Structure 1
């Protein structure tokens, strides 16, 4: 796409929004490094407006403590009441046809609604992967979708026991804490934000998930002791190194991690999407919102409408490829625009040809409490791991979570 065409898109958006070309500075807070590069492209098309990007590692806390809010926020874990209650409605961007509702994943778009108003717009999302060597002998790894039971059985077939220890293990759920969190979500634990802003979940399904994980370790990997001994003996090397050496058969990764690898690393592997019914989209979806007290709302609208334009995103993907940037996709993930993913991503990432999930095959996360990323890392994953390894000495998940919330003033 030429700079002239990008400029025409910006001007057309201004007409659709029913306003004159806004001027001044648009301040954007984001946890995404890619937004800096996008702002440079946008700024090159405009002489009357400038987007200035400020990095914030914790957008929720930054917004909560801000004396002067930004004009626009773009980042992860924004679909929480703490943030959404401070955002202004963006319904007019859709109702005036600056953006088309039909272009977005319905569940993803619905995640941004607060009190029947669209206060957050979807930008991008990641996906989980189970990766194996492309020349492996396990034909089950060629599946488009792999269930937890299929992964468990295929991994068990790979295990090699020599004497009283494993020399090869197909997969252990404990190798990556993110897989434990993914597994309980696939099992229907249903973590979500409650009316008081704290986590809610399905207790019975959470317990059932930990029971299944325990059975995986004890039955497929023979025992907790054997599973732990293999990890202690071999996991000083990165999992990808162990995969290349044939010591293990499967590795958990996210799509962004996978596609940020170089071509040679990807060429020697293949992947499947883990799912029970639908593929669970990780909680770290990226969304955009305009705070109620934004000083330059008109400018923020112009930038976000530009960013969510399919032709602009194709141009951004092409620029990233030409410059050999390691970043994956749009803002580090798949686009919130359905057709861009299904029709264009395989052109830029050939491994996705025939492997790009349809909209009906994806399950987006619920609205989640603030500090959810920390709760997962410091409560959910450690507690599940303790249960699976038989170390759960400090009580139920409820008790562990209450202790954490009290310690953090929640």
Structure 2
């Protein structure tokens, strides 16, 4: 499978048109055979052009791949040449780990320091005591409320049980019911539903409550059926997390049926617009989507980072960089990583994104917060005023275990529909159908995933 996507999105085409107008490459560079980068981040195409313009001894060529992990695996099977560098989501799959070389030698005063990164992201890039992956960017689940919403509900900020920049479901419940009473039946306003408008909240919640979805490996594979050999989780924690969601729905909103009735009666717009109109008090939203909104729109909201048990809801699409063991032009890959993980260069990328108006449709570095703490904490607020005094707590930025390369398909076809069905049940009713049964049924219909 060719690792270059042929059906480009309008956003990628926009970047390519911009790049075509930039006279960054000298004739001498164009004569050299370039190193090759595969990435699922269109924003990195700009980074590559800036690198090529500054690093005269190297030339890097970027190929866009919708799923680098899948394309890399296919190239290995087909015994085709591998790229010099891979940057994308899903690279931490145990199935691919042996294909990458350790990168520990890159750390030090001459390149970059381990202390520069969010520890919870860097640690997740290690296997067998070796640093196989370097984190580039991450995103978080946000909870939006209307600007000044707490004041409108006669709640003072010091009454919050946790700090301003984060929020938990217990806090949402407390602020949705300031008088301690359930929402009146038939009311045209609702505080928050874990099941919509952003359905991904369900998965982030159960992960925060230690459901621990991940790709099984080693001893986890022994004596397991097919489904459990593809995807693993902690059953007891998953069941408990779902029961807590059901209890929230029953206590705060009456029932799942009342939530659904409200949804079909009133909610015809994206979640953040329903918060703005006052129909709902809170809505969940991916940080990359929120910060791609126009600044005037973002100014209408206060946002909080979803946090449970001292962990933030770090979305699973963390982008990592890795160098294949069989990579050619390795020196160019190393030079690019050294260049990229320099705060001044990341600031230049943010400035280029703003001047080219790419920041109107894309957020941050490689589509998210930078993995370099100093960049997110000191440079991002200069480009995103919303982040002033509202930065994600570094200690809560922890990556979950790796998910299988087929995760996106499994999630949309099996896991999320199952979570929606089970979250809609009454408290104490238990499971209607186990996730194992749902997964096995899907695999029977789609044997290519086995």
- Verify the 8 A CA contact 1:166 1:226 in the aligned structure 2: no
Which residue pairs with 1:187 in the alignment? 209
* Residue number among 308, 312, 320 corresponding to 2:353 in the alignment: 320
360, 372, 378: which one aligns with 1:343: 378
The structural deviation recorded for 1:83 is 2.4
TM-score by length of 2: 0.80
Deviates more, 1:68-77 or 1:361-370: 361-370
Query: 1:300-336: per-residue Cα shift (whole Å, max 9, x none)?
Result: 1111221111111111122223333222111111111
Contact in 2 for aligned 1:24/1:48 (Cα 8 Å): no
Offset, 1:101:
1.3
Question: Any conservation in 1 of the 2:183–2:252 contact (CA below 8 Å)?
Answer: no
Alpha-carbon contact 1:153-1:220 (below 8 Å) kept? no
Give the TM-score normalised by structure 1.
Answer: 0.88
Size of the aligned set, in residue pairs, is 387
| Paired position in structure 2 for 1:174 | 195
Choose from 168, 174, 193 the match for 1:147.
168
CA distance in 1: counterparts of 2:143 and 2:425, whole angstroms? 26
Give the structure 2 partner of residue 228 of structure 1: 260
Alpha-carbon distance between aligned partners in 2 of 1:394 and 1:187, rounded to the nearest angstrom: 21
Structure 1: runs of 5+ lacking an equivalent: 1-22
Q: Deviations over 1:367-407 (max 9, x none)?
A: 22222233222222211110122399862012222333453
SS at match of 2:143: strand
Does the 8 Å CA contact 2:40/2:64 hold for their aligned counterparts?
Answer: yes
Instruction: State the Cα distance separating 1:49 from its structure 2 match.
Output: 2.9
Query: 1:39·1:51 contact (CA, 8 Å) conserved in 2?
Result: yes
What residue in structure 2 maps to residue 119 of structure 1? 132
Bigger strand fraction: 1
* Residue 409 (structure 1) aligned with residue 449 (structure 2): yes
Dislocated runs of 4+, deviation >4 Å: 156-162, 391-394
CA distance in 1, matches of 2:97, 2:392: 29
1:270 corresponds to 2:334? no
Question: 1:260 corresponds to which residue?
Answer: 292
Aligned to 2:224: none
SS of 1:292's equivalent in the other structure is: coil
In structure 2, relative to structure 1, the CA distance for the partners of 1:72 and 1:405 (3 Å cut) is farther
In the TM superposition, what is the alpha-carbon distance from 1:230 to its structure 2 partner? 0.9
Shift of 1:167: 1.3
Deviations 1:47-86 (A, max 9, x none): 4432211111112211111122211111112111122221
Q: Report the equivalent of 1:5.
A: none
Q: 1:310 aligns with which of 337, 343, 349?
A: 343
- Give the conservation status (yes or no) of the 8 Å contact 2:139–2:315: yes
Cα–Cα, structure 1 residues 314 and 389, in superposed 2: closer, same or farther, change >3 Å?
A: same
Give the corresponding residue for 1:165: 186
Taking the aligned partners of 1:160 and 1:201, their CA distance within structure 2 comes to: 33
The CA distance in 2 between the partners of 1:42 and 1:363, in whole Å, is 29
- Do the aligned partners of 1:157 and 1:170 also contact (CA within 8 Å) in 2? no
**Root mean square deviation, CA, Å:** 2.3
Q: CA deviation at 1:160?
A: 9.6
1:333 corresponds to: 368
Give the Å deviation of 1:240: 2.4
Q: Are the counterparts in 2 of residues 342 and 358 from structure 1 also a CA contact under 8 Å?
A: no
Displacement of 1:218 after TM fit? Answer: 1.9
> Does the C-alpha gap of structure 1 residues 393 and 359 become closer, same or farther in structure 2, counting only changes over 3 Å?
closer
